[in-house]
């Protein structure tokens, strides 16, 4: 861990953590809204709900507050075992987080769609047509559950081998940027990105947009391989992607391709 973080006072440490997550959130918002403005390939040709950006902004503030408190506490009490910085350690940490977070999130997301737990996730699903602000628009309870991935997974992984701080931080930045920008109501993905193989590494924007419109299915994060393994893909997602990619947006939340 950098010496600045190791020796910082609690207020300074919290400020640095907050600045980190705010910066990547703003970067994701800028990128996502730019996609909506300049790509001209909306997923849904439908308006946002009345007041949607306002309640999404509130959800983002909740998420950032919970994230700042949790990550600050993790750094302060050094609950994640970190080793000396090295390229191999940091790359290994990034890849380990990339894979395990996708497994963790599929199971968390699927659980939050169960009738007994859906109240936790309902805030996020107030957004049927998504915007970049949708990504981190969650309830307090859901934000706390996300921290099991942001901090809980690194704690567990570090019991196997010491993690690299920069690999952990790099994954968190990647996660925030991708989550925020990836909720844009636009499809910038090239045709090759909609193939079966490509989707196992990174799914098109349409993929998660269909989850918000249809509610059940497509529970994965960032890539489609967990949905593919668990049988929770929509059979028409590639046709929907091709339609949107060629400039023909979906005109109804219930539309099938």
Residue 9 belongs to some domain of the structure: yes
Asked if 231 and 25 touch (Cβ cutoff 8 Å), the reply is no
| Residue 176 placed within a domain | yes
Phi-psi sector, 137: left (phi>0), alpha (psi -120 to 50), beta: beta
Does a structural domain hold residue 257?
A: no
**CB atoms near residue 160 (< 10 Å):** 9
In a domain, 85, yes or no: yes
pLDDT tens, the chain, 257 aa long: 888 899 999 999 999 999 999 999 999 999 999 999 999 999 999 999 999 999 999 999 999 999 999 999 999 999 999 999 999 999 999 999 999 999 999 999 999 999 999 999 999 999 999 999 999 999 999 999 999 999 999 999 999 999 999 999 999 999 999 999 999 999 999 999 999 999 999 999 999 999 999 999 999 999 999 999 999 999 999 999 999 999 999 999 999 99
Tally the residues of the chain: 257
pTM of the model: 0.95
Residue 97 CB coordination number (10 Å): 24
In a domain, 178, yes or no: yes
Domain count, the chain: 1
* Radius of gyration, CA atoms only, the chain: 18
Maximum C-alpha span of the chain: 56
Rounded Cα distance, 20 and 144, in Å? 18
| Closest by Cα among 199, 243, 236, 239 to 221 | 199
Asked if the structure places residue 254 within a domain, the reply is: no
Provide the residue range defining the domain that includes 40. 3-245
d(C-alpha 227, C-alpha 234), whole Å: 9
Q: What sign results for the dihedral spanned by CA atoms 77, 79, 85, 90?
A: negative
């Amino acid at each position: 861990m950098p010496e600045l973080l190791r020796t910082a006072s609690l207020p300074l440490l919290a400020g640095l953590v907050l600045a980190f997550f705010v910066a990547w959130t703003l970067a994701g918002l800028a990128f996502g809204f730019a996609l909506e403005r300049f790509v001209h390939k909306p997923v849904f040709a439908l308006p946002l709900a009345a007041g949607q950006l306002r309640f999404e902004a509130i959800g983002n503030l909740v998420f950032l507050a919970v994230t700042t408190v949790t990550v600050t506490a993790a750094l302060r009490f050094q609950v994640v075992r970190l080793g000396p910085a090295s390229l191999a350690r940091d790359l290994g940490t990034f890849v380990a987080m990339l894979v395990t977070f996708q497994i963790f999130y599929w199971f968390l997301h699927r659980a939050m769609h169960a009738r007994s737990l859906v109240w936790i996730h309902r805030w996020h699903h107030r957004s049927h047509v998504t915007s970049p602000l949708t990504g981190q628009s969650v309830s307090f309870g859901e934000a706390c559950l996300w921290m099991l991935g942001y901090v809980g997974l690194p704690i567990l992984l570090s019991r196997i081998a010491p993690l690299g701080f920069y690999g952990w931080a790099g994954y968190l930045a990647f996660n925030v940027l991708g989550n925020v920008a990836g909720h844009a109501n636009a499809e910038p993905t090239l045709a090759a990105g909609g193939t079966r193989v490509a989707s196992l590494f990174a799914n098109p924007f349409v993929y998660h947009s269909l989850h918000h419109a249809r509610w059940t299915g497509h529970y994965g994060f960032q890539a489609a391989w967990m949905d593919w393994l668990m049988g929770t893909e929509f059979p028409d997602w590639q046709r929907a992607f091709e339609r949107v990619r060629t400039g023909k947006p979906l005109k109804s939340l219930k539309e099938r391709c």
